[in-house]
Amino acid sequence: MINGNRRMTNKPILEIKNLYAKAGDKEIIKNFNLTINEGEVHAIMGPNGAGKSTLSHVLTGKSGYEVTSGTVLFNGKDLLSMSVDERANEGLFLIMQYPVEIGGVAFMTFLKHALNAKRKYNKEPELDTMAFMKLIRGEAQKLDISQEMLKRAVNVGFSGGEKKRMETLQMAVLKPLLSILDEADSGLDIDALKVVSQGINDLRDGKRALLIITHHQDLLEHIVPDFVHVFSDGHIIKTGDKNLALELEAKGYNDFIKEAQC
């Protein structure tokens, strides 16, 4: 399948079947099903409280959530049996809605260790400091990230938009198979949205896939999805192409939710 300059295949990267998950005693994800193939971009849109961020937490292994039934395969392997580190090293990445600050941990040190841990996991030679610096400077320039920003601790003193740029830089360096964008447009002004979107689009090579969680059409004007899913009450109630996002923007969610309940 051809989409722009990207050639997509039917090889699945993520296969979620009949997934149920809860936080505490509350069931949030309910009979969730989704398959994402190589090169595909999927967008999930839904009202507040539908469980969109919970889905990202479950997939990335955040503590506090319990999968009660269902299966998740990532590149053919059982994702739910993997530790958080294993999921990241296998190629799963999350751009968080609210990236955390880690005082006392230099960003460059953090990212170098993360990259070399992944390379070691994949039996690739680790990068020395010189090679790493060359890589980082090239990717940082594309995202309009200054050398001064690179010298700071992880996300400390950054605006919301700067944090998202730094998250995108991590994604550009680690080159994950599947990136989950949990409201990546949150905190971005118009110019920052364009820069971050371009950085994300640069990774669209026909192999890597994206799962975009968002409330608004704005991000999807820059990162055009192949599929849009309406998410309500813990599962997908409707799927369409990029035009579905325009319908949601114009009509809201209520009509789709009422239709699904009939």
d(CA 62, CA 56): 9
* 204 in Cβ contact with 217 (< 8 Å): no
CB atoms within 10 A of CB 243: 9
Q: Report the candidate in 189, 190, 191, 167 with the shortest Cα–Cα distance to residue 180.
A: 167
d(CA 217, CA 208): 22
pLDDT at 7: 55
The answer to pTM > 0.85 is yes
d(CA 17, CA 15): 6
Cα dist. 224→98, 219, 242 in Å?
A: 23, 8, 7
pLDDT at 48: 81
pLDDT at 2: 36
Residue 197 has what DSSP assignment? H
What structural domains and CATH numbers belong to the chain? Answer: 2-261 (3.40.50.300)
* The one-letter amino acid at 160: G
pLDDT at 220 over 80: yes
Q: Report the candidate in 101, 155, 111 with the shortest Cα–Cα distance to residue 133.
A: 111
pLDDT at 96 over 60: yes
d(CA 97, CA 85): 20
> Using CA atoms in the order 245, 249, 251, 255, what is the torsion angle rounded to 10 degrees?
50
pLDDT band at 136 (very low <50, low <70, confident <90, very high): very high
* The one-letter amino acid at 20: Y
pLDDT at 252 over 90: no
Model confidence over 5-49: pLDDT tens digits? Answer: 455 668 999 999 999 999 999 999 999 999 999 999 999 998 888
Q: Report the candidate in 14, 107, 102, 10 with the shortest Cα–Cα distance to residue 56.
A: 14
pLDDT at 50: 81
Model confidence over 180-211: pLDDT tens digits? Answer: 998 877 777 788 788 888 888 988 888 999 99
